[in-house]
A and B are shown apart, each in its own frame.
Chain A
């Protein structure tokens, strides 16, 4: 069995599972945020009317809650949702609620690794499609809707069809100017936005071994854009060190057998990878940066679970140090812990000196919610994950998806720019 099959077999109490088996898996961790939480509350209200008991959760210690999409509260409705969420966690005795304005908080997927909320080998589900992100820690991490999350909260388990696994092998270390974001865009460009549909996308090879945990998080994050059920990397000492430094203990490093066969294997040479963007209006619509359209950008957005981890901000600072941005540029660190490190290590000063607006952790404009959404005809380069019509604002705005290095270099020139070409 491969890693996912082993995790799902253990979680469903079976000695083995194979692709297409339908199982009910016991869930180890579950997350809701300020959009899916109120959605779940609505499902609970419906269940109550049907006579189904929602008096207590299966295990409130396994539930954690993030505030990220519309925070700090964008307007009246989102403010009310935050109140609803607080009442919910209080009513059901959920202690791990990361509230904005009260110390550590941030984008749910970022909190999952910054606070070591999820451990290798676990089954983790969340009420958000980018829950896949956390598979980089060696967990089975999968996004679900409100009804499914409500079911997990009450029953502690959920059905899955065991996925086939596509294996993506990276040979060699990525060059300095190429980031994990470039590689995952290249992969989505090749397999398409349904290329991983219903399947696992597993990443491995010497290039993935070389990658930091945060780069692996970027890879797994955007398996969602290929339609995958989950993304995963087999856990190694780097994951142990990363989570240990965030307070985790007791590791169960599940790995696949040596002789497993994958549904399909893809191989990439790291030395051949190039800075890459996804042009409007799909993450599969890729181009290497040096062949990208010569458009006048209006804005550079450096934020989200995909592109505002600490490592991403370090890459941006490398470019912006001693330079000025030519277009509106926003940087929104994805969690308070990252914001604080960026302050302590001088990154915030570099950003502010360059003319950037630094904002609080929020999903914000990534999902067109608030804080920097795009006007009609505006063109943005962004470290986020989707660029469908209207994703970041007006339906006739345009978003180019890029790595933090490319988004920063482009902020300096106002054009889509390869970091190697920056004067």
Chain B
């Protein structure tokens, strides 16, 4: 899966900046998308392109349980978030709702990948290739259950009894 990076070189990107609380009443996904990252980067909506990835630091998506956060990112075109770590509800919302891939990366990828770089995520090989810089990094593999839910296409399509 290939895409270009939008990088936020900071930790603790919280749900209040991903989609501010005043929009929690909104359940129209297209409208939510227009307010994505409004609390941190008001230009996000105009610069994001379909298929882009976000790269960030530790504890991405901390804060509230609002599924609006992965929904707003996903409906803005974001296919994956690469981060040093994720807050738990954001992580499981992203996976169970099949909105986007939360990819846990190591420090070398965080440091080496820059804004605008084109990268290729190969989940089966647990690898991230930086096509712009011709570098390869390891991603942390998904745990077994997460891998299965992603492969199924979300929690509702996952059949635990068939394991």
List the interface of chain A (C-beta within 8 A of B).
22, 24, 35-36, 38-39, 41-43, 47, 50, 52, 69-70, 74, 77-78, 81, 127-129, 131, 143-148, 151, 159, 161, 193-194, 197-198, 227, 229, 282, 367-369, 373, 386, 388-391, 395
Contact = CB atoms under 8 A, between A and B. Distances in A.
Given A129-B63, A227-B88, A367-B64, 7 more contacts: A41-B27, A50-B156, A69-B24, A70-B25, A145-B92, A369-B25, A395-B17
B22 A369 contact: yes
Interface of B: 12, 14, 16-17, 20-22, 24-27, 39-40, 58-59, 62-68, 70, 85, 87-89, 92-93, 96-97, 143-145, 154-156, 160
B24 A367 contact: yes
B154 to A, nearest CB: 7
A282 B40 contact: no
B145 A145 contact: no
23 contacts: A35-B66, A36-B67, A43-B97, A78-B25, A129-B65, A143-B65, A144-B65, A145-B65, A145-B66, A145-B67, A145-B97, A146-B67, A147-B97, A147-B155, A161-B145, A194-B87, A198-B88, A229-B88, A282-B12, A368-B20, A369-B24, A389-B17, A390-B20
B43 to A, nearest CB: 14
Contacts of B40: 389
Contact of A22 (B63, B66, B144): B144
B27 A161 contact: no
Contact of B160 (A159, A193, A388): A159
Contacts of B145: 22, 159, 161
A18 B27 CA distance: 38
What are the nearest 3 A-B pairs in CB distance? A145-B93, A368-B21, A145-B67
A389 B39 CA distance: 7
A161 B143 CA distance: 10
B63 A386 contact: yes
Contacts of A373: 22
A390 B14 CA distance: 11
B65 A369 contact: no
Contact of A390 (B16, B25, B143): B16
Given A77-B26, A367-B21, A395-B39, A143 B62 contact: no
B85 A148 contact: no
A388 B156 CA distance: 33
Contacts of A193: 12, 59, 62
A147 B21 contact: no
Contacts of B97: 43, 145-147
Which of B40, B58, B68, B88 is most buried by chain A, counting CB atoms within 10 A of its CB? B88
B87 A227 contact: yes
A391 B14 CA distance: 10
Given A39-B67, A147-B67, A391-B16, A129 B89 contact: yes
Contacts of A161: 143, 145
A297 B93 CA distance: 37
A367 B66 CA distance: 11
Contacts of B65: 36, 127-129, 131, 143-145
A42 to B, nearest CB: 5
A194 B62 contact: yes
